[in-house]
Amino acid sequence: MDNSPIFDRLQNSLGAILGAADAEQTVIVVPSLTLHPDELAKIPGVMHFEERLLFMLSTLTQPATRVIYVTSEALDPAVVEYAFDLVPSLPRRHARQRLTLLDCADPGPTPLTEKILASPDQLDRLRRSVPARGRAHLVTYVSTPLEQSLAVALGMPLYACDPALSEIGGKSGSRTLLRDAGVPVPAGVEGVRTEADLVAALATVKAADRATRSAIVKLNDSFAGGGNAVFSFEGGPNRDLEPWIRSELPRRLTVASPADTWETYGEKLLKMGGIVERFIDSTGTVSPSVQLEITPGTGARVVSTHDQILGGPSGQMFLGCVFPAHPAARRQIQALALRAGKALADRGVLGHLSIDFVVEPATAGGACHALEINLRMGGATAPTFLLRGLVQGEFDEATGEYRTPEGAPRCYQASDRVQNSAYRGLTPDDVLDTALRAGLLYSNARRTGVAFYMLGALADVGKLGLVAIETDPGRAELLYHRTIAALDGRAAPGSHPPAGPLRTTLDDTCGQLGRDHADA
């Protein structure tokens, strides 16, 4: 069945719903990672990424707003309680009455949206939880035909990109739109699928600039750098490149994910397609990103900028981020992102998205290139909105800084990939207690400190997310590493947790977190 006409009619009502913030409305959050299963399999504890959108509880500060949050498995009550702590201005008791938590009681690897659609009982329960369907909309992590089907089944619009436009968010589609919008991209080739395509594309990139030392290959539907691979030209011939590349591929192609080999990577390339680009790796090169939001009627605006922290075997895996991006590149990438954002809005794109860049240092020419468009929420989305909920200030687009209500800047270093097998022995309360007793936990009085998310992944894979908020990047980095050191110490064999009830300690001394409005 073609859902497009019905979906289009629903989407036309979204502007009126979002434009009436004070009116009664319901936000249904379905944080399904409806992405390629091969790429999801690379992420330990991936199901717990469904917790990342708990920052949406900040919408409950609007007294006429209700939130329905759906997950595969029931959320740990301690995780939900702490999510309320992360919005100090939230009227706690009133907000609880406007939050409905639903789950599918299904921890399996099937995407959450698919689980809901496959169960008439789940769909009916979700429909019955919405008090006024005419004033409701759906928020998802990503938008695919499954999310479109869910929106149609519920009879409500989706605050995300129309899945018909998803090609723009693939690596090949990104390059095409960026280039057409006048945003510079690295020299490269789109539409790569077969081994022959790959060999020819690598040869083309090298021939375009003989000084090129390596090229990067990217799978169209990968994310967080997990589908990237680097091919080195070092020691290769200047002529008759293709035979040499063909013979060297298995040995020289360094894949980002340890789970991949040349054989498995080649199979995924055949299924997904991809691109090849000149790998810009001059010493001092940085990889910032710009987060945008496109709303009906108002167009694109910059939400934040970040310097990405990358690692892994090929240095291409997203590990974390620093806000804001370095001032030397901040204004340039904001301007280029807005140029692309206008082109995306003209194409009908909606919702949260990001654009990744690579910026060379001045010694290498200082060139700035856009790498890809991510038509979904990403690793920097949750930290951005956690900062907003905690600090209660404003993003200054002119400077790219976030400022407290008093006008002071705030920065952070964040990651949702902090992992240590020893953390499996910690509970969410252990984590908060450790940070509190070390003087690291976020203080509403100071508007600095560390906040956590994805705490539900602790018992499963020893993993969590953290945002270290400080007055400048250096302090944020120090706070980030001090927090990890404190957690490592708490999780070490033979360590003994201090006595005392955590919740009492939190309520009494955690920088007055939520005290003024607790249980209001």
Q: What is the CATH number of domain 4-160?
A: 3.40.50
What's the average model confidence in pLDDT over 238-256? 88
What pLDDT does 60 receive? 94
Residue 352 near residue 376 (C-beta atoms within 8 A):
yes
What pLDDT does 361 receive? 81
What pLDDT does 270 receive? 87
For residue 302, what are its two tokens?
């910059």
* Average of per-residue pLDDT values in the chain: 88
Residue 50 has pLDDT above 60, yes or no: yes
What's the average model confidence in pLDDT over 129-142? 87
What's the average model confidence in pLDDT over 328-349? 95
Residue 162 has pLDDT above 50, yes or no: yes
For residue 381, what are its two tokens?
């989305």
Tokens 């980095």 map to which residue? 477
Q: How confident is the model at residue 508 (pLDDT cuts 50, 70, 90)?
A: very low
pTM of the model: 0.87
Which residue has better confidence, 269 or 426? 426
What is the three-class DSSP state of 402? strand
Angle between helices 4-11 and 145-154 (to 10 degrees): 70
Q: How confident is the model at residue 346 (pLDDT cuts 50, 70, 90)?
A: very high
C-alpha distance from residue 271 to each of 194, 264, 374 (Å): 9, 11, 20
Residue 468 near residue 479 (C-beta atoms within 8 A):
yes
Between CA 336 and CA 357 the distance in angstroms is: 10
What's the average model confidence in pLDDT over 390-395? 96
What pLDDT does 8 receive? 92
CATH fold for the domain made of 167-171+283-375: D-amino Acid Aminotransferase; Chain A, domain 1 (3.30.470)
What's the average model confidence in pLDDT over 450-463? 95
Between CA 478 and CA 474 the distance in angstroms is: 6
Domain regions of the chain by residue span? 4-160, 167-171+283-375, 187-278, 383-517
Q: What is the pLDDT of residues 74-118, one digit of tens each?
A: 999 999 999 999 999 888 899 999 999 999 999 888 899 999 999
